[in-house]
Structure 1
Amino acid sequence: MKRDPVIYLVDDDTDFREATAELLESEGFATRAFDGGARMLDIIDPEWNGLVLCDVRMQSMDGFGVLKDMRARAPKVPFVMMTGHGDVRMAISAIRGGAYDFLEKPVQPDFLLGVVRRALNARKLAIENTRLRRRVARFGDLRSRLVGTSPVMKDCRKQLLDLAPLPITVLLHGEAGTGKEVTARAIHDFSEVSGDLHTINCANLSEAELRQDLTAASPDDTVYFRALHRLGTEAQSIVAEFLRQSTRARTIASLTGDPSKCHDAGQISDELYYLVTVAPIRLPPLRERDKDMFVLLEMFLRDAAARFKKPLPMVTKEALKPFRTYPWPGNLRELRGVAERMVLGLPLGLDRNTATATGQAESYDASMLAHERAILERALMESGGQKGDAAAILGIPRKRLYLRMKATGLLE
């Protein structure tokens, strides 16, 4: 496999260029040679992990001209200048101009290799420091996306930051509405992959549609398989083959529930299960997040007030009592919906499961109706509110979905 170059060698002397390139290659430094600076400057990457060795006297553009353009395009990449006609004044000018070092030809091989090693080590350290600073900055950004100070959320954010830079398949799992799509977006953004987040909604996707979606993803994209457990057997085989052969930097999958239980229930094949559970991250339900709920509620209230152009509602301690006992089956999605109803002055609908949460008995009919409503809500949440998709998830006709939504109070 051909290595990416770590040294760009610029010199219009063919004999010197070929001999120096051969020396560098023999010492393990992948090298690309240029007979002029213009071609090298066209491809230089400011975040490149290598260095430039450049002659001073060249016909088209001299070394100082290359250095000046280089500092404008890639100021952090080490630039080592070489010449057979140098003096102290020229060396001082080169260093002041931003060169890492100034070498006089003919350069002794051991001396040249020593300079190269030191420059590459310095570049490696600079890149690592830059990445560390970005990581610290990203951590602050991640806290603004995945809000919460509870121990489970702190642990979740740490896992995400640890895994985001790695070329590994990440599996997000947990109850419906725990923020899997937001988390997938965060992993993609913090992985520094150059492409887009290419989401494939696996709910009732045919094999032909799946292949079409996979073909539409560019090599630089992060492919996100949403609701992976909804795929049929043949479609799962296609995804497994894709994961085995993929060389892309990032793949993310998500499913509702516990991966091992989905596997035991036959929702995920053996092959796919072992391919996607290399780096699993569980997103905690709202009831495990302590006081995060009230921080999230305030954030959702402010967002809803801004979108609906309504004033922020007055929230009293008495009004928040049902929030503490309610089981929140829809998690963050449900809390966001409640916040929107608060802003609009609509009934919150938190009393239907409060009796169960506080240990009081419910009638059989009420329990069954609440259970059915929870199933319908989960399907609607997974489909993003699209009733046709929700009906497909449940495997029932759209008309029946509307009738059951009316019966359970989800539709008037």
Structure 2
Amino acid sequence: MTRAPEFSASVAVSANHSLRDTFHPHVVFIDDDDELRRANVQTLKLQGFTVDAHATARSALPTLHRDFDGVVVSDIRMPDIDGLQLFHRLRDVDPEIPVILITGHGDIATAVQCMHDGAYDFLAKPYSADRLITAITHAAEKRHLVLENRRLREAAFAVEADEVPFIGTTPAMQRIKQTLRHIADADVDVLVEGETGTGKEVVATALHRLSRRRHRALVAINCGALPESVIESELFGHEAGAFTGAQKKRIGRIEHASGGTLFLDEIESMPLAVQVKLLRVLESRQITPLGSNEVRNLDLRVVAATKEDLGSPAIRAKFREDLFYRLNVVTIRIPPLRERRDDIPLLFAHYLGHASRRFHRDIPELPASVNQHVLTHDWPGNVRELAHYAERVVLGVLNTSASDSPTADSNSQSLPERMEQFEAQLIRDALQAHHGDIKATLESLGIPRKTFYDKLQRHGIDRQQYTRTANGTTP
């Protein structure tokens, strides 16, 4: 059974700083000894703790609830409700509230049994101030992790239930969600801008699912993955005999999307000659397949995605200005992860949980180096890179390459260098996942065979080392 991810709070609380540097732990201190209670409260307040003091457990109980954000320190021997009774009542409220028991020598065996039952710690009288402070600090860290982990799980569940399945609470992501809701049922074409791996296809899918078109097809085309020789036929379709090899009629992707949504990914890669024909389709909402004189009407919404700034004069040589203005009715820009770092812990939590379910593995305890890497890395591959990193964490296959090394200074490399490293790592991961099987690897990467072999050569990747032999080993 997979454990819930208990890591993002440790990401939020830097491994290099004390918990008290980030917030003031809350302590409920209960002891019927007035002098001892006053002395301990004074000590704790001098250390920066927020302290609520009580002479009885009965007066403290109403302040302790499931969202209590601190630590309970209680003497065992007290009138009315003693420390043991208090501990067991708190177990019913929330078994993860840390309880530290104060014991006399005769109560040590009882306190040890309580620890077996879930108490955090016990302090035998007389105890030093340092011992008390250390125990409370560690217990407060644990409580903070528990509450933060709950918050992240609840946020993840809210994402799954949300009609707009974006993981992120930053203002930029909230604006995107609001925009999608506003335009979902308006038949306007949408241009989605964002770097590689930011989630452009997620936007297209959300628009389709929110619209009245959700019961028809969402047809996705990667314009950069289709060879120029076949892209026109793929998009517009053809009649039998339209060209050499066209043995039977084919309905093009654009016509297939009629009634639904057409998603054109990496549209900046579309050849100029095809751009002219696409512009005509977008303006007329009609299509004429290759080799046919029949004009067919279309009912579709077009969502185009690009990692380039299509409005830039520098891109005019490869992308038509009139097509840009035709697509640019509504533009949604997805910010890269480095511009919404507050979303990274929640995203990492989501993808760790997803990886643990996918691979049927428990989420491992995360060292501080992983948490530091999650917070400080630039993530040039954005959400896709973060998801793959979470998978490697769950699989326990983090390597010493620059992309996985928490101590690597990514700022010392240019963006193209970092992108090259990320691309090479994705190819290695795909080869490893499919044991060197070329067909499966190509399908997972979504690139042509020739492009794949060119990249193997450029990155110096030996496919053979990932190939599984008949006895289940690699050569």
2:126 matched residue in structure 1: none
In structure 1, distance between residues paired with 2:179 and 2:397: 38
Secondary structure at the aligned position of 1:322 is classed as helix
- Aligned partner (choices 260, 265, 271) of residue 226 of structure 1: 265
Q: Distance in 2 between matches of 1:271 and 1:139?
A: 39
Q: Does residue 162 in structure 1 map to residue 182 in structure 2?
A: yes
Give per-residue Cα distances to partners, 1:149-182, cap 9 Å, x unaligned. Answer: 0111111111111111111001111100001111
Report sequence identity in percent.
27
Query: Which position in structure 1 is the counterpart of 2:221?
Result: 200
Change (3 A) 1:171 1:347: same
Q: Give the Cα–Cα distance (whole angstroms) in 1 for the partners of residues 367 and 424 of structure 2.
A: 31
Counterparts of 1:376 and 1:390 in 2: how far apart (Å)?
15
For 2:187 and 2:415, the matched residues in 1 are separated by: 46
Q: Distance in 1 between matches of 2:313 and 2:307?
A: 9
Verify: 1:402 aligned to 2:456, yes or no: yes
TM-aligned CA distance change 1:271 to 1:389, over 3 Å: farther
Aligned twin of 1:150: 170
- Distance in 2 of aligned mates of 1:230 and 1:263: 15
- Superposition TM-score, scaled by structure 2 size: 0.49
State the match for 1:209 in structure 2: 234
2:381 and 2:441 map into 1 onto residues whose CA distance is 13
Supply the AA of the counterpart residue of 2:342: K
Q: 1:371 to 1:182 in 2, by over 3 A?
A: closer
Counterparts of 2:201 and 2:269 in 1: how far apart (Å)? Answer: 16
Q: CA deviation at 1:371?
A: 5.5
- The one-letter amino acid of 1:209's match is E
Displacement after TM superposition at 1:224 (Å): 1.1
CA contact (8 A) 1:330 1:377 kept: no
Unaligned 5+ segments in structure 1 are: 1-136
1:178–1:333 CA contact under 8 A, matched in 2? yes
Separation (CA, whole Å) in 2 of partners of 1:328 and 1:408: 26
Cα distance in structure 2, aligned partners of 1:378 and 1:310: 21
Q: Does 1:386 align with 2:442?
A: yes
- Using the TM superposition, give the Cα deviation of residue 219 of structure 1 relative to its aligned residue in structure 2, in angstroms: 2.6
Compare relative contact order (CA 8 Å, sep 6+) and give the higher one, 1 or 2.
2
User: Does 2:421 correspond to 1:373?
Assistant: yes
Between Structure 1 and Structure 2, how many residues are aligned? Answer: 265
* Alignment of structure 1 residues 4-403 onto 2, 5 Å: 141-143=162-164, 145-193=165-213, 194-203=215-224, 204-205=226-227, 206-212=231-237, 213-214=252-253, 216-246=255-285, 248-261=299-312, 264-347=315-398, 349=401, 350-351=403-404, 355-357=408-410, 361=412, 370=418, 372-374=420-422, 386=442, 398-403=452-457
1:138 is displaced (CA, Å) by: 11
- State the alpha-carbon separation in 1 of the partners of residues 406 and 318 from structure 2: 29
Q: Which residue of 1 aligns with 2:65?
A: none
Distance 1:328 1:355, change over 3 A: same
| TM-score, structure 1 normalization | 0.56
Query: C-alpha separation between the residues in 2 aligned to 1:368 and 1:224?
Result: 27
Q: Within 2, Cα distance between the matches of 1:260 and 1:150?
A: 26
Give me the whole-angstrom Cα distance separating, in 2, the residues matched to 1:235 and 1:304. Answer: 39
AA matched with 1:147: I
Q: Is the 8 A contact 2:442 2:448 kept in 1?
A: no
Looking at structure 2, the residues matched to 408 and 292 of structure 1 have their Cα atoms a distance apart, in angstroms, of: 36
- Distance in 1 of aligned mates of 2:253 and 2:371: 46
In 2, Cα distance between equivalents of 1:368 and 1:184: 27
Measured in 1, the distance between the counterparts of 2:339 and 2:357 equals: 29
Q: CA deviation at 1:318?
A: 4.2
| RMSD, aligned α-carbons | 3.6
